[in-house]
Structure 1
Amino acid sequence: METRRNGLKRESYVLSVDVGTTSIRCHVYDKEAQIRGSCITKVNLLYPEPGLVELDPEELWRGFVKVVNGAVQDSGLQMRQMETLGISTQRGTFTTWDRKTGVPFHNFISWQDLRAVELVRSWNNSCTMKAIHGVMMVLHFLSKNKRFQAASLIVFSTQHVTFRLAWALQHWKQLGQAVAEGNCCFGTIDTWLLYKLTKGLVHATDYSNASATGMFDSYQLCWSEFLCCLVSLPLSILPKVLNTGHRFGLTDPSIFGVSIPIMSVMADQQAAMFGECCFDIGDVKITMGTGTFMNINTGSKPHTSVAGLYPVVGWKIGPEVVYLAEGNAADTGTAIKWAQELELFSDVRETDAMASSVANSDGVCFVPSFSGLQAPLNDPKACASFMGLKPSTTKSHLVRAILESVAFRNKQLYETMLRETHIPIRKIRADGGICTNDFVMQLTADLFGRKVARPIQHEMSCLGAAFVAGLGVGFWKSQEELKKLQRTDRVFLPRNLYRMGDGGTEGEYTPILQSWEQALKRSMNWYGNP
């Protein structure tokens, strides 16, 4: 695509920024979706007390501006050549600010923050929740509607915004006063960035981010009045929900020197799904980063789960809404980093060779549960553990057991998706930092009995936001064109020697997997009742 300045043709490009849990990165993409310039900066997490995790809103904003300027400078291009801007952000991290001055009332409260854990536990054990569960069970019995069955099993989580926001409103008087005066704005990271980029003109989010807060009704596509009323969350502070592909506004020219149209805002996992071009029902994406997030495209209808899969809006572009069913394992990258800090290895790139240097894990099983176990077991009290240690156990055996646990959790999530959605799988693509590990990728393919593709670019969230923004301004014409730009580094084919098979076919990993599943059961409910 070209723009015309002073009678001269000038090539244009797409800017995209991904605000993750540990870093902010910006890429400049050309027409072939190749990266022409990049910049990255660290996200500084704050830990004011044990269990509390925060980010400084102004520091995050400065980091955002820094990476945009840095990426354009790295590309050797000029800011006026940037046709559009796309934004991808971590989910569930929020702040509130003064509607008149734009000054935050407090730091961002991260999705990892545990300050509301007692409030969540109290609600999950409350008579109100028991009554809701009972009513939903009756409605399911009468209607056979799975949505009521899922509601009868639902439990609240600290990872969703709902109770962390309720905690803030209960404990900080200035928030209550601002709400009463109609002077409080709530927003996840994307909303805050839109507000700052437009100098306060836009207070909005998109469907993908809203659907991940826990306060949004993905079936009705609106903020849940029932839930907000139940937990005393004021609807007046919530942002407007707009399409994922939408002209959100122009960046104020004082920020980057020119006005750049903001044409996409996306939650990171949904953006990664779009970056992987998983546009069709049955397409599966596995992101292995800090945690593992497995998503399947369920089409125009949200999936109702009874095993802990979460229905989220993938994206809404024009009238089309695409839903995803999502399962996650919280401690993928966390376990790798923990092992590195214990000096089991010095460089993550060593782990592939270490795991392959031994024939097996010597009977050692690792349970990756620093933050409990998610779907399908859904036990927040499970503990991380090594089991089966022997005098013969070496560092290589321990590393292999950790990497195996990543693939085993992938298998659990995958089988839960197959069992719950009954959707034929079309393709499986993996991204995230851990996907660079060949051992994990090969074992995942073996256990799935399906080929798993790894893209050349691993930062799919940034690319997905760029794709949506580019489609919005005609930089790219269609999703079919985007598929042609998809580049695969390697396709991992399942080896029959290890294949589990739909009927439980015996293979080398059958007894190992069974031992690991026993280890999971022994790790569950470890911390006992409160």
Structure 2
Amino acid sequence: KYVLSLDIGTSNMRCFIYDKQTKIKGRSQCRIKILYPEPQAVEMDPDELWEQILGVMKEAIQSASITPDKIASIGISTQRGTFMLWDKETGKPFHNFLVWQDTRGDALSKSWNDSYTMKFLRPASKGLHLLTQRKKFLAAAVLKFRTQHVSIRLLWLFNQYPDLKGLAREGKVRFGTLDTWVVWKLSGGKVYTSEYSCASSTGIYDPYILDWSGFFCSVLNIPKEIFPPVIDTYDDYGVCEKDLFGFKIPIRAVVGDQQAAMFGQCCFEPGDVKLTLGTGAFLDLNVGNKPHTSVAGFYPIVGWKIGDKVVHLAEGSSNTAGDAVDWMKGMNFIKEPCDSDDIANLVDTSEGVYFVPAFNGIQAPINDYLACGGMMGITQNTKAPHIVRAVLESLAFRNKQVFDSMVAETSLKIKRFVCDGGVCANKLIMQLTADLVGQIINRQEHSEMSALGAAYLAGLAVGYWKNMEELKSLPKQVKSFTPNEENAKKYSPIMKNWCRAAKRSLNWYSDT
């Protein structure tokens, strides 16, 4: 028997088949087609995505040279904050998936944050230290709605298509983040549900009461009826329709990609930190069995829920990471991402060039979605290696910025710092991040932690692995990056100048 893991990221979709030692028996991968139909729009065609899902799953099974009945369980990891509405009766989508990077709700977010409604509610947020943690969470949400949350993009969608809201109130519309839709499709429409880690990443879910927030729905006038029931991270998600693979393969785990990576890295204890460097950068801190309410913009999310045990995370993100490396390739500064290290090391410094990785604004702790990507300090002496080095350094600077703010706010002692994702193969970024944060960073040889985490959960659900202790004992090959104090001192003034450059990019897309 084996475990199949389907990992639907932002740029790539992967499918792996693991044995009990987590060796990969079969694999498949494809590039996800992203659509940019208008400025600020980021979409995916659901029909094309479905064909890709079936394609990678069938190809992985075939490459493993096994029959589908040899798969004990399926685990699914998905990008979060990507959603769609579809017709409850026909199953037909009303629109394309709105990807988490879509910022068309930005103007709406600004108008809401400046509205009389918010000005009326905002006084309740004063004196945060006097409030309970849950009221702090609600008050912090009232301080500012954020474009990356599903709530604002869903409101924008209802404004674009007014008839949808009427249909939603009549119970004719189904809402689904990517996890909900994938399970619904694989099960032939028999299972309609979401999962705690995915639901808590939408900005419409209250992690303190573990339910869709009536408060947010009331404030934004979003029909609460459209949201699916939520079940445990590993649970009975039905089976794949027999017509799809020739066997009813059990689906036993669903989890958001960042939480899946956290689980795959065995970050089970409070104080464990996981940094994922993929299309974007996501820093997650295990804060234990209670949510952490942030005033700096670190969103409280559920890591996973298994039975009565809930693990909560604080998360800070940067929408631009691997995207910046892809941009360099598109500009012919590098031929392939793996070349960036060697090209950057052709020079000792960036010669005063600073890159601001803000293709989709700058997230916590700055939280400016009107910021622009930028490059400053270019002179006639600037060469391609200087630009490449500036881009790579900027990603490490953002890691440092997010980490310092999160640690200061939570006051938790850091126990472990691990990293995964395609960009973590870059030695310059990894070493500089370790230098700046002053922590030993461990990187596993297996970089696809989201897929592994989903596999772990699916395997635990059916007894493939006995418990979390067994997962910790599985063989792992680790590369460690030890901080260099001298390099940290050298980069201290460089990062200060980078912070100055970042400030110049703020509020760029504002009308004022």
Q: Same fold (TM over 0.5)?
A: yes
2:60 maps to what in 1? 71
Paired residue type of 1:129 = M
Could you tell me how far 1:395 is from its partner in structure 2? 1.2
Paired residue type of 1:476 = W
Could you tell me how far 1:393 is from its partner in structure 2? 2.1
Q: Which moved more, 1:161-170 or 1:510-519?
A: 161-170
Contact residue 319 and residue 358 of structure 2 kept, 8 A: yes
Alignment of 1:439-518 (within 5 A): 439-485=428-474, 487-499=476-488, 507-518=489-500
2:320 maps to what in 1? 331
1:502 maps to what in 2? none
SS at match of 1:209: helix
- In the aligned structure 1, how far is the partner of 2:130 from the partner of 2:55? 57
Alignment of 1:198-209 (within 5 A): 198-209=187-198
Could you tell me how far 1:495 is from its partner in structure 2? 1.6
2:507 maps to what in 1? 525
**Alignment equivalent of 1:194, drawn from 183, 197, 211:** 183
**Alignment equivalent of 1:62, drawn from 51, 64, 80:** 51
- In the aligned structure 2, how far is the partner of 1:177 from the partner of 1:378? 33
Structure 2: gaps of 5 or more residues? none
- In the aligned structure 2, how far is the partner of 1:250 from the partner of 1:349? 39
**Alignment equivalent of 2:87, drawn from 88, 92, 98:** 98
Please, what is the CA RMSD of the aligned residues? 1.7
- In the aligned structure 1, how far is the partner of 2:117 from the partner of 2:52? 43
Paired-residue identity, % = 47
Contact residue 137 and residue 148 of structure 1 kept, 8 A: no
**Alignment equivalent of 2:422, drawn from 433, 437, 449:** 433
SS at match of 2:236: strand
Q: Does residue 371 of structure 2 align to residue 382 of structure 1? A: yes
Q: Does residue 305 of structure 2 align to residue 316 of structure 1? A: yes
- In the aligned structure 2, how far is the partner of 1:141 from the partner of 1:447? 31
Contact residue 30 and residue 52 of structure 2 kept, 8 A: yes
SS at match of 1:191: helix
Could you tell me how far 1:494 is from its partner in structure 2? 1.1
Contact residue 81 and residue 150 of structure 2 kept, 8 A: yes
Alignment of 1:400-415 (within 5 A): 400-415=389-404
- Residues 222-264 of structure 1: CA deviation (Å, up to 9, x unaligned): 0001111111111211101001111111112121111111111
Paired residue type of 2:71 = M
Paired residue type of 1:314 = G
2:225 maps to what in 1? 236
Contact residue 246 and residue 264 of structure 1 kept, 8 A: yes
Could you tell me how far 1:414 is from its partner in structure 2? 0.9
1:8 maps to what in 2? none
- C-alpha change, 1:462 and 1:141, in structure 2 (3 Å) is closer
How many residues are paired up? 511
Contact residue 284 and residue 294 of structure 1 kept, 8 A: yes
Could you tell me how far 1:163 is from its partner in structure 2? 2.0
1:270 maps to what in 2? 259
- In the aligned structure 2, how far is the partner of 1:449 from the partner of 1:142? 34
Paired residue type of 1:225 = G
- C-alpha change, 1:206 and 1:149, in structure 2 (3 Å) is closer
What TM-score do you get using the length of structure 1 for normalisation?
0.93
Could you tell me how far 1:150 is from its partner in structure 2? 7.3
2:139 maps to what in 1? 151
Q: Which moved more, 1:336-345 or 1:82-91?
A: 336-345
Could you tell me how far 1:147 is from its partner in structure 2? 4.8
- Residues 110-136 of structure 1: CA deviation (Å, up to 9, x unaligned): 112233222212111111112221122
Paired residue type of 2:139 = A
- In the aligned structure 2, how far is the partner of 1:145 from the partner of 1:494? 35
- In the aligned structure 2, how far is the partner of 1:346 from the partner of 1:275? 31
Paired residue type of 1:451 = I
Contact residue 345 and residue 351 of structure 1 kept, 8 A: yes
Contact residue 453 and residue 488 of structure 1 kept, 8 A: no
SS at match of 1:213: coil
- In the aligned structure 1, how far is the partner of 2:130 from the partner of 2:288? 27
- Residues 126-171 of structure 1: CA deviation (Å, up to 9, x unaligned): 1111222112215x36547685387247311222111222222233
- In the aligned structure 1, how far is the partner of 2:395 from the partner of 2:268? 26
- C-alpha change, 1:358 and 1:273, in structure 2 (3 Å) is same
- In the aligned structure 2, how far is the partner of 1:383 from the partner of 1:113? 15
SS at match of 1:192: helix
- In the aligned structure 2, how far is the partner of 1:529 from the partner of 1:349? 39
- C-alpha change, 1:129 and 1:280, in structure 2 (3 Å) is same
- Residues 368-424 of structure 1: CA deviation (Å, up to 9, x unaligned): 112221111112222222222223222111111111111111111110111011111
Paired residue type of 1:30 = D
**Alignment equivalent of 1:83, drawn from 61, 72, 76:** 72
- Residues 337-393 of structure 1: CA deviation (Å, up to 9, x unaligned): 112211111121111112222221112211111222111111222222222222322
Paired residue type of 2:495 = L
- C-alpha change, 1:40 and 1:141, in structure 2 (3 Å) is closer
Q: Which moved more, 1:68-77 or 1:192-201?
A: 192-201
Q: Which moved more, 1:513-522 or 1:241-250?
A: 513-522
- C-alpha change, 1:523 and 1:117, in structure 2 (3 Å) is closer
- Residues 11-30 of structure 1: CA deviation (Å, up to 9, x unaligned): x0000101111222100000
Q: Which moved more, 1:333-342 or 1:112-121?
A: 112-121
Contact residue 133 and residue 293 of structure 2 kept, 8 A: no
Could you tell me how far 1:510 is from its partner in structure 2? 1.6
Structure 1: gaps of 5 or more residues? 1-11, 500-506
Paired residue type of 1:44 = K
- C-alpha change, 1:465 and 1:154, in structure 2 (3 Å) is farther
Contact residue 150 and residue 306 of structure 1 kept, 8 A: no
Could you tell me how far 1:177 is from its partner in structure 2? 4.3
2:208 maps to what in 1? 219
- C-alpha change, 1:49 and 1:389, in structure 2 (3 Å) is closer
1:504 maps to what in 2? none
SS at match of 1:248: coil
Q: Which moved more, 1:431-440 or 1:91-100?
A: 91-100
Contact residue 234 and residue 252 of structure 2 kept, 8 A: yes
SS at match of 2:507: coil
Alignment of 1:25-36 (within 5 A): 25-36=14-25
- C-alpha change, 1:266 and 1:142, in structure 2 (3 Å) is closer
Contact residue 83 and residue 99 of structure 2 kept, 8 A: yes
- In the aligned structure 1, how far is the partner of 2:479 from the partner of 2:366? 32
SS at match of 2:486: coil
- In the aligned structure 2, how far is the partner of 1:146 from the partner of 1:259? 42
Paired residue type of 2:317 = N
Q: Which moved more, 1:143-152 or 1:408-417?
A: 143-152
